[in-house]
Amino acid sequence: MLDAVTLLDATLLPAIAIAIVAGLLSFLSPCVLPIVPPYLAYMGGVSVTDMDADVAARRRVIVAALFFVLGLSTVFIFLGMAASVFGRAFLQYQEWFIYIAGVVVMIFGTHFLGIFRIGFLQQEARVDVGDRGGSAFGAYILGLAFAFGWTPCIGPILGAILGLAASEGDVARGTTLLAFYAVGLGIPFLLVAVFFPRLKGAMAWMRRHMKVIGRISGLLLLTVGLLMVTGHFTALSYWLVEQFPALAVLG
């Protein structure tokens, strides 16, 4: 029989997997993916053409991308801490809180599926940080600005992960979820910086299939929201650990 503490930790793994996938889908969103190459080039103080052909220029972009990811991760981790503290403060109402969060997440899902459009989620609240390109510190500041400025666009997916973090009612677990969301969103930026010439074709294919990616995002949110509303998310976590004991070792 599994140790109770080990089982408790292992049940976080499904939520972590969802957080990583959510971060990746945020990267693939229509307001993020198209601007990745010029954004990386600007942060590195080079042109997109240099990124394609100049190895030295690409190294500068890689360093800038690393600090950019650190910047956006800083914001998301603090958001995870805040959501967890909020959830902990209302722990006595956790059942109702999870239910309401699940309903909101499902509404976000209908937005991505085109069933019910939410106007403010169609906009971007970009933050003007001035001329900060070409330096590691500037890239870090841009990462902070990116995390805040693109929130209306990636908000539905980010909101789902924040809802999960708040429902945990534990600062460490909630912060962990947002850290892995940042990993899912940030790692693709680094991969594009490192392998830009090879990934141009793949990125073009993704841009052509934005509608499909949006529907996948919507289905993910609907599924997560439904699991939260019905109270089956925790049950699913325990079922996975019981069926796959190796998860307990990872947890």
pLDDT for 3 equals 45
pLDDT for 69 equals 92
User: Which among 164, 172, 198, 217 has a CA at the least distance from the CA of 77?
Assistant: 172
pTM of the model: 0.77
Residue 121 pLDDT grade (very low, low, confident, very high; cuts 50, 70, 90):
low
Residue 164 pLDDT grade (very low, low, confident, very high; cuts 50, 70, 90):
confident
Instruction: Output 50 or 223, whichever has higher pLDDT.
Output: 223
pLDDT for 1 equals 40
Residue range 134-147: mean pLDDT, rounded:
82
Q: Report the C-alpha gap between 26 and 28 in whole angstroms.
A: 5
- The answer to whether the CB of 146 falls within 8 A of the CB of 71 is yes
Residue 214 pLDDT grade (very low, low, confident, very high; cuts 50, 70, 90):
confident
Q: Report the C-alpha gap between 159 and 118 in whole angstroms.
A: 14
Q: Reduce the DSSP state of residue 131 to 3 states and report it.
A: coil
Q: Report the C-alpha gap between 4 and 100 in whole angstroms.
A: 28
pLDDT for 70 equals 94
Q: Report the C-alpha gap between 233 and 97 in whole angstroms.
A: 14
Q: Report the C-alpha gap between 37 and 48 in whole angstroms.
A: 7
Residue range 71-77: mean pLDDT, rounded:
91
CA angle 202, 210, 41 (to 5 degrees): 55
Q: Does the CA dihedral 47-50-51-57 come out positive or negative?
A: negative
- The answer to whether the CB of 165 falls within 8 A of the CB of 16 is no
**Range of 17-26, 43-52, 110-119, 195-204 with top mean pLDDT:** 17-26
**Range of 62-66, 88-92, 232-236 with top mean pLDDT:** 62-66
With a cut of 70, say whether residue 166 has pLDDT above it.
yes
With a cut of 50, say whether residue 20 has pLDDT above it.
yes
User: Which among 10, 9, 11, 24 has a CA at the least distance from the CA of 181?
Assistant: 24
Q: Greatest CA span in the chain, whole angstroms? A: 59
